Chain A
Amino acid sequence: MTTKKDKLIDLCLLAGKLMLMYGAETYRVEDTMKRMAVAGGMDNVNSFVTTTGIFLSGVLEDDDDIMQMIRIVDRFQDLSKVTEVNHISREFVAGRMSITDARQELKRVEKQPMNYPLWLIYIASAIGGGAFSYLIGDSLFDMIPASIGGLVSTLALVLFQHYLQAKFFSEYLAAFFGGVTALILVHSGFGTNIDQIIIGSLIPLVPGVPLTNSVRDLMAGDLISGLARGAEAALTSLSIAAGVATAVSLFL
């Protein structure tokens, strides 16, 4: 039998887990869970979130203390899910949604597919790579090979993350294939400015979410998560650099 206490703490943990998994900052997750628990009638609420795990403790109406944790393994970048969970938690805190409704909504968010289909993300990384390369290199024609390179590196990243499931190695391989594509295009005469083309093909791999979140976590005083995310961003950038360095030293 599930009591109100269990339902409430399940709801808070589910909201926190979704936010942390899809790329919210640590202090936002802590704040959201605490507000939801207090709005549900809990006292003595404490939440502690790191990049890889969530702890929540509290006491409901003179019952025993309750304390639960979950471990977060996967980290994706899907900011529209963070926005939706944020909205649901606001509605719950304002009292416009019951525990059961909020849980149903969160389950719906958990199950729903990505906001944009995968092919649109491929097209976006092609366009983003091409457009960004123009900002660096000033050559209109070289936008085309740069966007081909951006498309190849994102395709390779999604493919390797799906089949290999190795965090930094897949970024290394994606950067390697993006760099090889750019070099092949330049050597076959399709494109002139090699710097611009290589940068354009690698820019969709930039770890924007951990980079920004690291700064915000450090500023909010969450030193452990800030450093952890900073390490994630640094390792990702290093793997990208190593991948393109391999490609350049093999083929240039």
Chain B
Amino acid sequence: MVWELIICGIATVAFAIIFNIPYRLLWMIGLIGMLSWSVYSFLPITGVGPVPAAAVAAFSSALISHFAARKKRVPVTTFTIPGIIPLVPGGRAYETMLAFVQGDYIEGLSQGAGTLLQAGAIAGGLAFALSIFSIGRGVGQRYETNR
């Protein structure tokens, strides 16, 4: 578990270098990646499926990213983009591809649905954290209640 966390921190920092993120922010990004991985790997132990776990992990890391971006006065994507990398459903995407290559379309479709759901869960977590931080600044929709 501890090894996994350390390796996850190293992976996140490596991805931060791939995305060309400034040197002075790297250690915070490592911590954010470790946070999202610990949430993502801890929740399934308590009986939560991988898709909701990915949503909660993306939400918590995006929330911390927003605080960090406020504090350091940098765009928040600097933190969120590497922060969600540990959650990417690489294994499932690979299973999907393999099933389609082997002609097992039913298996491919079900694995593909799982992959898409997990990607959507990550997006949903990000969007939820973003909405909390943009209360009062969002765009108007449906009804003009302030007339």
Q: Which residues of A approach B to under 8 Å, CB–CB? A: 23-25, 28, 77-83, 86-87, 90, 114-116, 120-121, 124-125, 127-128, 131-132, 134-136, 154, 195, 198-199, 202-204, 206, 208-209, 211-213, 215-216, 218-221, 237, 241, 244-245, 248-249, 252
Contact = CB atoms under 8 A, between A and B. Distances in A.
Contact of A208 (B11, B19, B95, B134): B19
Contact of A135 (B21, B86, B101, B131): B86
A208 B85 contact: yes
Contacts of A195: 91, 94-95
Given A195-B91, A208-B85, A215 B123 contact: yes
B90 A124 contact: no
Contact of A216 (B8, B77, B100): B77
B19 A209 contact: yes
Nearest to A140: B3
A248 B123 CA distance: 29
B34 to A, nearest CB: 11
B43 interface: no
20 contacts: A25-B75, A25-B77, A82-B77, A83-B74, A115-B22, A115-B23, A131-B8, A131-B11, A134-B7, A135-B86, A204-B18, A206-B88, A208-B82, A212-B77, A215-B130, A216-B130, A219-B134, A221-B138, A237-B93, A248-B97
Given A203-B88, A208-B82, A80 B127 contact: no
Contacts of A154: 18
Interface of B: 4, 7-8, 10-11, 14-15, 17-23, 37, 73-75, 77-78, 80-82, 84-86, 88, 90-91, 93-98, 100-101, 119, 123, 126-127, 130-131, 134, 138-139
A121 B77 contact: no
Main secondary structure of the interface of B (DSSP, over half): helix
B75 A116 contact: no
Contacts of B131: 219
B130 A219 contact: yes
User: Which 8 residue pairs are nearest across A and B when measured between Cβ atoms?
Assistant: A128-B14, A131-B11, A124-B17, A221-B139, A78-B20, A124-B14, A199-B90, A127-B14
Contacts of B20: 77-81, 114-116, 121
Contacts of A216: 77, 126, 130
A119 to B, nearest CB: 11
